[in-house]
Structure 1
Amino acid sequence: MHSGAIFLIEFGGIILGLGLLGRIAGRYGFSPIPLYLLAGLAFGQGGLLPLDTSEEFVAIGAEIGVVLLLLMLGLEYTATDLVQNLKTQYPAGAVDFALNALPGAAAALLLGWGPVAAVVLAGVTWISSSGVIAKVLGDLGRVGNRETPVILSILVLEDLAMAVYLPIITALLAGAGLVAGGVTLAVALGAAGIVLFVAVRYGRLISRFVSSDDPEKLLLVVLGLTLLVAGVAQQLQVSAAVGAFLVGIALSGEVAEGAHTLLSPLRDLFAGVFFVFFGLHTDPASIPPVLLPALALAVLTALTKIATGYWAARRAGVAVRGRWRTGGTLVARGEFSIVIAGLAVSAGIEPALGPLATAYVLILVILGPLAARFTEPVARRLSLSAPPAPASEAVEPVSQGSTRS
């Protein structure tokens, strides 16, 4: 009974703390992710007040948080949208990978961490934060801008790449050999292909089967189906997150909208628990030794993300100011970087990887919104010697406001 009371006190304190931190972040207009990570550092190994009784439950909540993050991401897109993005925007995805994943891999090799850690750190530096970027676009009033579809296309391609990347690192972290790793990847690709095919052809039937006018029944069916598929995927060594992502893709229309509304509070709760859990397993004393490498990597990959966005927007015919805005908006890293690093921390492949990823995300989740706001004005000031922009470009956000993704 005593341990049960301690558990309720600890877990209740975590949830209350998340709510207060979220309110602070909302009041000052920035993402709460860095505050959640700092809270985890404060109550984890080597922190101010280490947790004891509730840690196991927090670990389960963190797994559910990852599953819900990917489910909600899948609900944002239809299978048709994904296929269309693959056909038209794959060059931008290739440039994104080359400019942002390779620096992470190179940094891991230079630090002497080995090839598996290099693959993991490549993912940490590659994937932008969809959640932070979506919030920034809304806060800055840029949802209707000409460059916004380009930004969303790059995010969609990164999300699709996760369906291939996560099974690869899962197999590598599990120590699977070439044959076993190839089988795991084949299963993941086959499952993704089948789900996309079924979603395109039979998405309406699936949505009709899941649909319910009763919010309670809809919530239970969607959540139960997601956890079931995620568990089966993890049993097949594919990735629970990929399974959840594919469930989200398969649902569409009113079902997807209803599920999104019902599951958003649960996602926010368990995603917050996930970030706290990651911080719990990072010793604050381990961050200062990797702070300089993390800062250098953050600055480098911020610049490469800006270059990625600029190139992609130029290819789409966006004006110069919109190109700079595209690049600046893509800088933020967040949830996916922590998800990837969390897999590596759980596998115990490199003790310094978790602290470096924590410091890296903390830097870029703060720098990202600033880059989105100020990259274009700074670039304009640095090019004062260039000819003035055409009048049509100067009013781009207004004249292009009807163009939406």
Structure 2
Amino acid sequence: MGGAFLAAAVLARVGSRIGLPTIPLFILAGILLGPHTPGVVLLSDPHDMEMLSALGLVLLLFYLGLEFHLDDLKAGGRRMAIAGGAYLALNVGAGLGFGFALGWGTSEALVLAGVLGISSSAIVTKVLVDTGRLGNPETKPILGIIVVEDIFLALYLAALQPILSGADSLSSAVLDAGKAFGFLLLLALAARFGTRIVGRLFATRDDELLVISFLGAAVFVAGVSEWFGVADAIGAFMVGLMLGSTASGERIRTLVHPLRDAFGAIFFFAFGLSIDPGDLPMVLWPVLAAVALTLAMNVLAGLAAARVYSFGPQPAANISTTLLARGEFALILATMAAAAGLDERLSPFIAGYVLLLAVLGPLAASRSPWLARVLPGRLLPERQETKTPELVG
């Protein structure tokens, strides 16, 4: 574990000197020190870091919830749903069509629809933090799209699981979907009406007690969410959403920073451990085609969101590039596909696709002004420029 932290830190420090984002460097550290490459092997079994990796994801999404205020959610609910629906329709639809075009099978196509369609909440959060864009106007629709994706994700997984497991009972599939949706509704009601009560429960002047309290709440609700068939990430997000609106919200944001950064790095490092570079050549061309398709769909989705929110080319480019990366959800689908005995090319394809976009996504986000220059201004309501702050860290 100490070696993982040090390796991630060393590579990130070297990369920062030449302007590279930290996310792909954390992943590269995991690949170089994992069981699939020659040389030093810190961990022969990537599952040894599974709990720490899960904690990193929970803290990243918890922090995202702290930054996403309930007032923003209530005020922009309709536009958020339209922008998120457009993003899913373009990307999930393209992923499904791509899956059928590959000819690997119907179940494989359904898996690829999710792989190509859902952004990485963890990488999106890290990109927003690293580029200093949390206060930008276009960050609200970006976070809104992630919320819509997570809601879709819960229902998608509930529907996909019986298909992959060969279940022939429609009632069990409907029951799973209903259980997930019911828990999501319960979380939403708690976030909407329970903020005052939650604020009283977490009110304390002692930083130590506050850290233990919010960390316990985020991890516990994330675990319960997963038991109900809802992504643990959305459970942590909803806890952050509730706590961010309390009197302790600002202190919690400050206290969670070092935890978020440390365990977030472990999340990406553990992702690198799971990648076997030797499997990638056999799926190189499908991976490149899928990446090109995702780039195109993200640009279209960014333009659509910019029109909904009356943004200009620069915010549209920021939306397109920030949401580009794929990550933790795709890896969950790869695990499900392998357990279901689907096409053996699926796992290396997902690994190569996610790795390439995990590298390209943060790079593209940091250079979004290049994309803004070539976006067709006539498709947007106004030519509004948003200043992009300098990179942090």
Q: Report the residue type matching 1:225 in the other structure.
A: A
Give the aligned partner of residue 53 of structure 2. Answer: 62
Q: Is the alpha carbon distance of 1:257 and 1:381 closer, same or farther for their aligned partners in structure 2, counting shifts above 3 Å?
A: closer
Q: Report the residue type matching 2:239 in the other structure.
A: V
Give the aligned partner of residue 263 of structure 1. Answer: 256
Q: Distance in 1 between matches of 2:229 and 2:61?
A: 17
Q: Distance in 2 between matches of 1:76 and 1:332?
A: 20
Q: CA deviation at 1:133?
A: 5.0
Give the aligned partner of residue 287 of structure 1. Answer: 280
**Larger deviation: 185-194 or 370-379?**
370-379
Q: Report the residue type matching 1:302 in the other structure.
A: L
> 2:34 matched to 1:41?
no
Q: CA deviation at 1:371?
A: 3.9
Q: Distance in 2 between matches of 1:215 and 1:65?
A: 21
The 5 A counterparts of 1:8-23 are 11-23=1-13
Give the aligned partner of residue 356 of structure 2. Answer: 363
**Larger deviation: 110-119 or 242-251?**
110-119
Give the aligned partner of residue 126 of structure 1. Answer: 117
72, 77, 80: which is aligned to 1:86?
Answer: 77
Q: CA deviation at 1:257?
A: 3.1
**Larger deviation: 85-94 or 284-293?**
85-94
Q: TM-score, normalised by structure 2?
A: 0.81
Q: CA deviation at 1:90?
A: 1.8
Q: Report the residue type matching 1:98 in the other structure.
A: A
Q: CA deviation at 1:273?
A: 2.3
Give the aligned partner of residue 73 of structure 1. Answer: 64
Give the aligned partner of residue 31 of structure 1. Answer: 21
The 5 A counterparts of 1:133-212 are 133=124, 147-169=138-160, 177-212=169-204
Q: CA deviation at 1:260?
A: 3.0
Q: Report the residue type matching 2:152 in the other structure.
A: A
Q: Distance in 1 between matches of 2:119 and 2:274?
A: 23
**Larger deviation: 137-146 or 50-59?**
137-146
Q: Report the residue type matching 2:90 in the other structure.
A: L
Q: Distance in 2 between matches of 1:141 and 1:277?
A: 25
Q: Is the alpha carbon distance of 1:327 and 1:194 closer, same or farther for their aligned partners in structure 2, counting shifts above 3 Å?
A: closer
Give the aligned partner of residue 311 of structure 2. Answer: 318
Q: Is the 8 A contact 1:86 1:157 kept in 2?
A: no
Q: Report the residue type matching 2:51 in the other structure.
A: I
CA deviation vs aligned residue, 1:293-338 (integer Å, no higher than 9, x gap):
111111111111111111221233334x346524543453044455
Q: CA RMSD in A?
A: 3.6
Q: CA deviation at 1:47?
A: 1.7
Q: Is the alpha carbon distance of 1:208 and 1:60 closer, same or farther for their aligned partners in structure 2, counting shifts above 3 Å?
A: same
**Larger deviation: 160-169 or 273-282?**
160-169
Q: Is the alpha carbon distance of 1:63 and 1:290 closer, same or farther for their aligned partners in structure 2, counting shifts above 3 Å?
A: same
**Larger deviation: 215-224 or 30-39?**
30-39
Q: CA deviation at 1:141?
A: 7.2
Q: Is the alpha carbon distance of 1:116 and 1:82 closer, same or farther for their aligned partners in structure 2, counting shifts above 3 Å?
A: farther
Give the aligned partner of residue 109 of structure 1. Answer: 100
* Greater Rg by CA: 1
Specify the SS of the correspondent of 2:76.
helix
Q: Is the 8 A contact 1:329 1:372 kept in 2?
A: yes
Q: CA deviation at 1:187?
A: 1.6
CA deviation vs aligned residue, 1:90-137 (integer Å, no higher than 9, x gap):
222221112111222233333344444434432332233456556666
Q: Is the 8 A contact 1:45 1:282 kept in 2?
A: no
5+ residue gaps, structure 1: 1-10
Q: Is the alpha carbon distance of 1:346 and 1:275 closer, same or farther for their aligned partners in structure 2, counting shifts above 3 Å?
A: farther
Q: Report the residue type matching 1:282 in the other structure.
A: I
**Larger deviation: 215-224 or 240-249?**
240-249
Q: CA deviation at 1:274?
A: 2.7
Q: Distance in 2 between matches of 1:232 and 1:134?
A: 22
**Larger deviation: 143-152 or 305-314?**
143-152
CA deviation vs aligned residue, 1:150-206 (integer Å, no higher than 9, x gap):
444434433443444454456656665532232222122111112211221121211
Q: Distance in 2 between matches of 1:138 and 1:237?
A: 29
Give the aligned partner of residue 88 of structure 2. Answer: 97
Q: Distance in 2 between matches of 1:139 and 1:227?
A: 24
Q: Distance in 2 between matches of 1:307 and 1:191?
A: 33
Q: Distance in 1 between matches of 2:135 and 2:61?
A: 25
**Larger deviation: 130-139 or 310-319?**
130-139
Q: Distance in 2 between matches of 1:324 and 1:245?
A: 25
Q: CA deviation at 1:362?
A: 3.0
Q: CA deviation at 1:286?
A: 0.5
Q: Is the alpha carbon distance of 1:35 and 1:142 closer, same or farther for their aligned partners in structure 2, counting shifts above 3 Å?
A: closer
The 5 A counterparts of 1:206-221 are 206-221=198-213
Q: Is the 8 A contact 1:192 1:246 kept in 2?
A: no
> 2:243 matched to 1:251?
yes
Q: Report the residue type matching 1:200 in the other structure.
A: R
Q: CA deviation at 1:217?
A: 0.7
